[in-house]
């Protein structure tokens, strides 16, 4: 039997000194996870398509003593992602952690949605995940030191919803992508690949759902044993756990972080 080591227990949640890349860092969850990695002592490479927002984030984080940088890239474009990986390695020498936080949705019934509109969602939420995972995993394999990959999908990856044929399909695809990549990468290359599946959390797009008096909010509470909707900060602990040695035996998992949504 392998004994438990005190030094392992004392350090198992640490990401200090690691290089963490965060996509969709300009979004509600991406910003919070990027900051959480930074507070935990990681070097943070933030990416997204909006240079102005990335620049502001860099200034905000640096003012708090976080070692960070940014690179503008569209995650659905292969050339952009290859350049992003190169820029990260040029700046920090390696990539140890990847958190995929970008995403897009524009709900529309299938009878009204054009194939191009559906494809745009698929590219934003599924193809882009494939491209980012592929090139970051290649880099991690070349480094030969393993790695941690966390992809934010959704509870909608497991259940359908009217108007969501693009979003549910792409998030379901991303969940299965994570599991398939774990089968390829974990045993041989010690890269853990997992997804986080939240329900609604507060962002610019969902803010309107957070009025406690509204029927929408009340309806959600009937399905949320935890008694409230989530804040982006609620997922920082899970993301850090999946990025640290504490989760070394977890891979290919689609991790529920829904406040108990699945239980009722
Ligand atoms: P936000 O909408 O706040 O931000 C997401 C970021 O993704 C944006 O800042 C944007 O960055 C980038 N993005 C937007 N559209 C595209 C696109 N077409 N192609 C590539 N990148 C794009 O998202 P959240 O923080 O709310 O969500 C983070 C993740 O969690 C997403 O994957 C989302 O689907 C998922 N999720 C969200 C829930 C919620 O309630 N908010 C619930 C469950 C899952 P830029 O413009 O700089 O590229």
Protein residue with its CA nearest to atom 30 in ligand 1? 152
pLDDT at 249: 98
Question: From ligand 1's centre to the CA of 210, what distance in Å?
Answer: 18
Residue 207 has pLDDT above 90, yes or no: yes
pLDDT at 14: 98
Q: Retrieve residue 97's tokens.
A: 């952690």
Protein residue with its CA nearest to atom 29 in ligand 1? 101
Residue 148: φ, ψ to 5°: -130, 125
| CA distance from start to end of the chain | 39
Q: Please report which confidence band the pLDDT of residue 262 belongs to, taking 50, 70 and 90 as the band edges.
A: confident
Protein residue with its CA nearest to atom 28 in ligand 1? 101
Q: Which of 23-32, 87-96, 214-223, 245-254 has the lowest mean pLDDT?
A: 214-223
Give, for ligand 1, the residue of 75, 98, 103 to mutate: max count of ligand atoms closer than 8 Å to Cβ.
Answer: 103
Residue 53 has pLDDT above 90, yes or no: yes
pLDDT at 263: 87
Residues with C-beta less than 6 Å from any ligand 1 atom: 24, 26-30, 48-50, 53, 74-76, 101-104, 124, 128, 152, 154, 198, 200-201, 203-206
How far apart (Å, rounded) are the C-alpha atoms in residues 50 and 58? 12
Question: From ligand 1's centre to the CA of 229, what distance in Å?
Answer: 17
> Using CA of residue 114, residue 120, residue 121, residue 123, what is the dihedral sign?
positive
Within 10 angstroms of residue 27's Cβ, the number of other Cβ atoms is 24
Give, for ligand 1, the residue of 27, 74, 119, 127 to mutate: max count of ligand atoms closer than 8 Å to Cβ.
Answer: 27
Q: Retrieve residue 200's tokens.
A: 């609604």
Q: pTM for the whole thing? A: 0.98
Whether 104 sits among the annotated catalytic residues: the reply is no
Q: Average per-residue pLDDT in the chain?
A: 97
Question: From ligand 1's centre to the CA of 103, what distance in Å?
Answer: 3
How far apart (Å, rounded) are the C-alpha atoms in residues 58 and 216? 35
Question: From ligand 1's centre to the CA of 2, what distance in Å?
Answer: 42
Please compute the mean of the pLDDT values over residues 186-210 and round it to a whole number.
96
pLDDT at 39: 98
Q: Please report which confidence band the pLDDT of residue 49 belongs to, taking 50, 70 and 90 as the band edges.
A: very high
Three-class SS state of 203: coil
Residues 25, 31: contact at Cβ < 8 Å? yes
Nearest of 192, 86, 93 to residue 135 by alpha carbon:
86
Find all residues with CB under 8 Å of 61, minimum gap 6, and list them: 34, 35, 38, 44, 46, 68
Of 164, 167, 238, 261, which one is the catalytic site residue?
A: 167
Question: From ligand 1's centre to the CA of 27, what distance in Å?
Answer: 6
Please compute the mean of the pLDDT values over residues 58-62 and round it to a whole number.
98
**Which atom of ligand 1 is closest in space to residue 50's alpha carbon?**
47
**Which atom of ligand 1 is closest in space to residue 28's alpha carbon?**
25
The alpha carbon torsion through 188, 192, 197, 203 (nearest 10 deg) reads: -130
Three-class SS state of 253: coil
Span 143-178, pLDDT tens digits? 999 999 999 999 999 999 999 999 999 999 999 999
pLDDT at 264: 81
Span 210-258, pLDDT tens digits? 998 999 999 988 999 999 999 999 999 999 999 999 999 999 999 999 9
pLDDT at 192: 98
User: Which domains are present in the chain?
Assistant: 15-206+232-263 (3.40.50.720)
């Amino acid at each position: 039997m392998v004994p438990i080591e005190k030094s392992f227990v004392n350090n198992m949640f640490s990401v200090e000194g690691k290089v963490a890349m965060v996509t969709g860092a300009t979004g509600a969850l991406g910003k919070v996870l990027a900051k959480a990695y930074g507070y935990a002592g990681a070097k943070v490479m933030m990416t997204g398509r909006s240079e102005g927002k990335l620049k502001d984030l860099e200034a905000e984080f640096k003012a708090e003593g976080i070692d960070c940088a940014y690179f503008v890239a569209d995650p659905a474009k292969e050339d952009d992602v290859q350049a992003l990986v190169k820029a990260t390695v040029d700046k920090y020498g390696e990539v140890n952690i990847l958190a995929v936080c970008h995403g897009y949705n524009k709900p529309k019934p299938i009878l009204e949605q054009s194939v191009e509109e559906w494809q745009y969602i698929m590219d934003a939420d599924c193809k882009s995940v494939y491209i980012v995972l592929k090139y970051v995993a290649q880099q991690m394999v070349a480094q030969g030191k393993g790695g941690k990959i966390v992809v934010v999908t959704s509870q909608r990856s497991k259940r359908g919803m009217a108007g969501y044929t693009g979003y549910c399909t792409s998030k379901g695809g991303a969940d299965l992508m994570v599991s398939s990549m774990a089968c390829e990468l974990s045993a041989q290359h010690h890269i853990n690949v997992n997804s986080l599946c939240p329900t609604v959390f507060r962002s610019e797009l969902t803010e309107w759902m957070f009025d406690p008096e509204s029927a929408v909010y009340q309806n959600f509470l009937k399905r949320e044993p935890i008694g409230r909707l989530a804040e982006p900060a609620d997922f920082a602990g899970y993301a850090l756990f999946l990025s640290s040695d504490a989760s070394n035996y977890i891979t290919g998992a689609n991790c529920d972080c829904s406040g108990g949504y699945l239980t009722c």
